[in-house]
Amino acid sequence: MSISLIILAAGQGTRMNSDLPKVLHKVAGAPLLVHAMTAGAALAPERVVIVAGHGAEEVRTAALAHDETVQVVLQEEQLGTAHAVAQALPALEGAGGDAIVLYGDTPFIRPETLESMIAARQRHAVVVLGFTARDPGRYGRLVTSGETLERIVEFKDATDEERSITLCNSGVLCADSALLAELVAAVGNDNAAGEYYLTDIVGLARARGLSAGVVICDEAETMGVNTRAQLAEAEAAFQARARAEALENGVTLTAPETVFFALDTVVGRDASIGPNVIFGPGVTVESGAEIKAFCHLEGCHISRGASVGPFARLRPGAELAEDVHVGNFVEIKNSILDEGVKVGHLTYLGDAQVGKETNIGAGTITCNYDGVFKHRTEIGAHAFIGSDTMLVAPVKIGAGAMTASGSVITADVPDDALALGRSQQVVKAGFAKKFFDRLKAAKAAKGKN
């Protein structure tokens, strides 16, 4: 059966105190909205519709950047969650199958939980995701009798007795999309908030003699983000889980609490990660690679047997083949390093291609930017780049070639050649001694005055 997703993301998020729409604030390097999209994507949905309102253009751009197949619809006025779903329904026309409603500000719903909701649809026309709240606060309450969910009552509209219920509404629900459309059309706004409550569809379904049920998840999954403090809590919760998962998957973390993962970080078994390593988006580390302390990695791939750091920075497009060694204070951007390349110390490689087994000496810099354009540096296999070489791109260094230390290389170097690009050394015998004797004498004369 086909599944479609509706992700509600029109709310203002006033309590974030921000110019950025709430759902674009990031946890683990990815917007909250992308977390919800990622959880939903595990169900291979036929259609994904995102309801945007506040900051709709920014939300649209971010959503499409992550997945260009989604549809983003506009909810001009935020008249309630049922009204939001109503804006999405035209985009689902003809899709058939079930629709799942998610919130863009609730990042941690697990795909397995969504799957159990779909399974529960065998028994119920409407399935709601509930949780037992430690502090039920202002959540909507789930009014049940036995296995049946009778209705959802919003906190504002609840009696004292209903407020004592601890089984709460996460907001996530699932129903046949055609039925959802009918029920949503019947929702009114005669309630304490004057809003069109999506939660009313449960009572409406029951009134039609349809069955509704609850799937219960852990409260941690339903954590929503409304404030910067909750954003920080969500980050901490994500990192705690990611660290535990990495350890479980056979990754060594010497100081797990100091390592920060991104939503899409992939680390292979028997990789080892030292203290204070930060993963930005788009990093894959193969089995057995070693990342030493204080590295910052983003958009890069580190192959089996490679070692990186301490204190290295790999930026987007850094591709390290097997057994590459990148040492301290090295920055690499948009560069491919073939097998066994060594870049030990204090180097910048940008827009470069480095052949197999080549050694890049300390202090080497690719001068890849002329102030307007970026240029490429190509270095062949088994080359030896002397320490403190400036490679002024575009430039090519042949296989087996060598550059002398301190050279400024502005022209291509053929295979197996030596390139010297520095001024001739001059040696003046005795000069230093004479020079300092003169200065010292001058200082002594001054002291006597």
Can residue 198 be called a binding residue for ligand UD1 (CB under 6 A)? Answer: yes
Can residue 299 be called a binding residue for ligand UD1 (CB under 6 A)? Answer: no
Q: Pick from 3, 8, 92, 183: which binds ligand UD1 (CB under 6 A)?
A: 8
Can residue 336 be called a binding residue for ligand UD1 (CB under 6 A)? Answer: no
Interface with ligand UD1 in residues 24-83 (CB under 6 A)? 51, 53, 75, 78-81, 83
Q: How far is the CB of 411 from ligand UD1 (least distance, A)?
A: 59
Task: Match 């591709």 to its residue by tokens.
Answer: 319
Can residue 104 be called a binding residue for ligand UD1 (CB under 6 A)? Answer: yes
Which residue of the set 54, 345, 375, 382 is catalytic? 345
**Residue 336 · residue 320 · CB < 8 Å:** no
| Cα 112 to Cα 28: distance, rounded to the nearest angstrom | 21
Give the range of 2-10, 296-304, 335-343, 363-371 binding ligand UD1 by CB under 6 A. 2-10
Q: Which letter, b or e, does each residue of 305-334 get, where b requires 16 or more Cβ atoms within 10 Å of its Cβ?
A: bbbbbbbbbbbebbbbbebbbbbbbbbbbb
124 carries an active-site annotation: no
Can residue 11 be called a binding residue for ligand UD1 (CB under 6 A)? Answer: yes
**Side chain identity at residue 23, one-letter code:** V
Give the range of 60-68, 103-111, 210-218, 314-322 binding ligand UD1 by CB under 6 A. 103-111
Give the range of 178-186, 193-201, 253-261, 388-396 binding ligand UD1 by CB under 6 A. 193-201
Can residue 214 be called a binding residue for ligand UD1 (CB under 6 A)? Answer: no
Q: How far is the CB of 180 from ligand UD1 (least distance, A)?
A: 14
| Cα 123 to Cα 136: distance, rounded to the nearest angstrom | 27
| Cα 216 to Cα 199: distance, rounded to the nearest angstrom | 16
Binding mask 164-183 for ligand UD1 (x = CB under 6 A): ----xxxx------------
| Cα 355 to Cα 379: distance, rounded to the nearest angstrom | 6
Closest CA to 363 of 401, 405, 398: 405
- Which segments of 53-192 are extended strands (E)? 71-74, 98-103, 126-132, 141-145, 148-153, 167-176
**Cβ-based neighbour number of residue 219 at 10 Å:** 14
Give the binding site for ligand UD1 (CB under 6 A): 8-11, 51, 53, 75, 78-81, 83-84, 103-105, 139-140, 152, 154, 168-171, 197-199, 224
Q: Which residues are catalytic?
A: 345
